Amino acid sequence: MSIKPFKLLEGEEIHWRGKFSWKANWLLILICIALLPIPSFFLIGGIGFLIIAFLRTKRSIYAVTNYRVIVRCEFYNFYAVKTSIGYDNIADIIVKQGFMGRLLNYGRIFIFLHNPPNSYVIMPEVPNPKHVGRIIAEHLITFLTYNLMELEANYNQGYISKENYWTMKNLYERQRNIISQRLKLDLEEE
């Protein structure tokens, strides 16, 4: 199985898959409805807006697997993002919804990266973004917990120094605690 242009890795499972939300095209659809009474404007502008709305939705694919987050957004060849982000490179995630996004249940997910520093990838107009953000956060917490166990084992076997062990342990625990707290707050809001 694959998500073009990405092939799934051995043992990789898709836990969520989606596209750019149709609901995020509400303004384009509203303009088309407004142009309906004027046939010449509807034929030129209205159909054009519907094609743009269709392409925005059709040319995007998002997936969350047990190994990574996959984002593919294209709009013609003017704007194209094709990326695969492993949980080892995710520093943080934030879900943002505007007024219409909360009303129609769509929003953006910002995935902040470790490398390059201070960079991020946006998953634009994701349907049910809090649910998707929760899935990503849970996978990230699982990944960090596994890294902590692996770090402990490497330290006990003498593969890493005490100083490196404590530095990495504090870093993983701090990141896991921040994401756990945010996840807990999101669940309390609902």
Helices (H) and strands (E) in the chain, counts: 6, 9
**Residue 10 within a domain:** yes
**Residue 127 within a domain:** yes
> Which helix or strand (DSSP H or E) is residue 123 part of?
strand 119-127
Q: Which of 25-39, 67-81, 143-157 has the highest mean pLDDT?
A: 143-157
pLDDT surpasses 80 at 24: no
The confidence score (pLDDT) of residue 4 equals 61
**Residue 31 within a domain:** no
**Residue 169 within a domain:** yes
Predicted model pTM = 0.80
The confidence score (pLDDT) of residue 71 equals 87
Contacts made by residues 79-82, CB under 8 angstroms, sequence distance 24+: 81/121, 81/122, 82/5
Q: What is the domain extent for residue 15?
A: 2-20+59-189
The confidence score (pLDDT) of residue 156 equals 92
**Residue 121 within a domain:** yes
Q: Is 69 helix (H, G, I), strand (E, B) or coil?
A: strand
**Residue 99 within a domain:** yes
CA distance 147 to 180: 16
The pLDDT tens digits for 130-151 are: 999 999 999 999 999 999 999 9
The confidence score (pLDDT) of residue 170 equals 92
The confidence score (pLDDT) of residue 54 equals 72
Mean pLDDT score across all residues of the chain: 82
Residue 22 pLDDT level (bands cut at 50, 70, 90) = confident
The confidence score (pLDDT) of residue 66 equals 92
The pLDDT tens digits for 83-98 are: 889 998 998 898 999 8
pLDDT surpasses 70 at 177: yes
Number of domains in the chain: 1
**Residue 33 within a domain:** no
Strands (E), 47-97: 60-65, 68-75, 79-86, 90-96
Whether the CB-CB separation of 144 and 177 falls below 8 Å is answered with no
**Residue 161 within a domain:** yes
pLDDT surpasses 80 at 46: no
At which residue do the structure tokens 């692996």 appear? Answer: 150
| CATH number for 95 | 2.30.29.30
